[in-house]
Homo-oligomer: A and B are copies of this chain.
Amino acid sequence: MTQPGKVLLIGSGPGDPELLTLRAVRMLASADVVVYDRLVSDPILQMAPKSARMISVGKCPKSHPVPQDEINEILYAQASAGYTVARLKGGDPLIFGRGSEEAGYLMDRHIHVEYAPGITAAQGVSCVTGVPLTHRGLATGVQYVTGHRQSNKVLDLDWKRLADPDTTLVVYMGVANIGQIAVGLMTEGLSDQTPVLAVANATTNKERRLVSKLGSIAHDIRSAEMGAPVLFIIGQVVSLYDAKSTSAILTDLEAEMPAIAHA
């Protein structure tokens, strides 16, 4: 009988391979099989063992993704065949990553699961731009929400709770609904002058930045033709953004394609 394998739920961070943890690197190096999402960057995939079987389950906003049930089955099939399976996700597997759903499915079937946390996109943006997520006098805390709406459903967010001028609001997967998000926040009292930083493909050589205000962000995003994945940081901390004093994290890739700041 085959010894069962295991599944390693690994956060690959925002894109720059230098933002992997040592734990993530070690786990990835031990993989027989790598199951990866669309947002895992190519330089990170290249860190997998040459012998590893690579399985893409990438979810594209406009194409049919591999359904979650099927991803669960792939992970289970590979692990129960005795393989060490690296499940690579963008960001952190336990923040908007559905990692806990996959882990629950596997543990119910007696598959051993281990985790490596990842730097979130918000932290990646923060570190390439110098914009903090908290700052004395500007933000006493930070909230992460998703602006993604399931098809045919209304975006169901508690605008009253989110419209807090003393907290930094980070919106993941919000580019399609940023107009509705901005209106919701302004209706509940957040000023239209609240600064907003939008960053696409943070920490990669495709990074693009846009600094705007809540009242104009929807228009500015359309004009700039920024597409997913875009992360929004909304709040007074964005006033600390200084285009001159910040630099892209990928020093070696900068020359090829510099980060574009639209002020």
Q: 1/0 per position for A127-163, CB-CB distance to B under 8 A? A: 1101111111000111111100000000001100100
Is A94 touching B123 in the complex (CB atoms < 8 A)? yes
User: Which residue of B is nearest A160, CB measured?
Assistant: B161
**A124 in contact with B117 given A22-B20, A100-B240, A143-B143 (CB within 8 Å):** yes
- B contact residues around A26 at 8 Å (CB): 18
Judged by a CB distance under 8 angstroms, whether A230 is at the interface is: no
Residue of B23, B117, B123, B166 touching A126 (CB-CB under 8 A): B117
Is B144 touching A141 in the complex (CB atoms < 8 A)? yes
Q: 1/0 per position for A98-130, CB-CB distance to B under 8 A? A: 111101100100000111111110011011101
**A142 in contact with B144 given A95-B134, A100-B130, A101-B136 (CB within 8 Å):** yes
Chain B: minimal CB distance from A104 (Å): 7
The A interface is mostly helix, strand or loop, or mixed, namely mixed
Chain B: minimal CB distance from A210 (Å): 20
Is A95 touching B17 in the complex (CB atoms < 8 A)? no
User: Which residue of B is nearest A157, CB measured?
Assistant: B140
- B contact residues around A22 at 8 Å (CB): 17-22, 25
Question: A127, A167, A247: which has the most chain B beta carbons within 10 Å?
Answer: A127
- B contact residues around A18 at 8 Å (CB): 21-23, 26
- B contact residues around A124 at 8 Å (CB): 117
Residue of B19, B92, B113, B114 touching A23 (CB-CB under 8 A): B19
- B contact residues around A98 at 8 Å (CB): 136
Judged by a CB distance under 8 angstroms, whether A254 is at the interface is: no
- B contact residues around A130 at 8 Å (CB): 100, 103, 113, 115
Judged by a CB distance under 8 angstroms, whether A164 is at the interface is: yes
CA distance in complex: A120, B144 (Å): 14
Q: Taking beta carbons and an 8 Å cutoff, which residues of A are in contact with B?
A: 13, 16-23, 25-26, 92, 94-96, 98-101, 103-104, 107, 113-120, 123-124, 126-128, 130-136, 140-146, 157-158, 161, 164, 166-167, 237, 240, 242, 245, 247, 249
Query: Contacts A95-B133, A100-B240, A117-B127 given; 8 further ones with Cβ under 8 A?
Result: A95-B142, A100-B135, A101-B136, A114-B247, A134-B146, A141-B145, A141-B146, A143-B167
What are 16 of the A-B contact pairs (CB < 8 Å)?
Answer: A13-B21, A17-B22, A18-B22, A21-B22, A22-B22, A94-B131, A95-B123, A100-B240, A115-B128, A117-B119, A120-B123, A140-B145, A141-B143, A141-B144, A142-B144, A143-B143
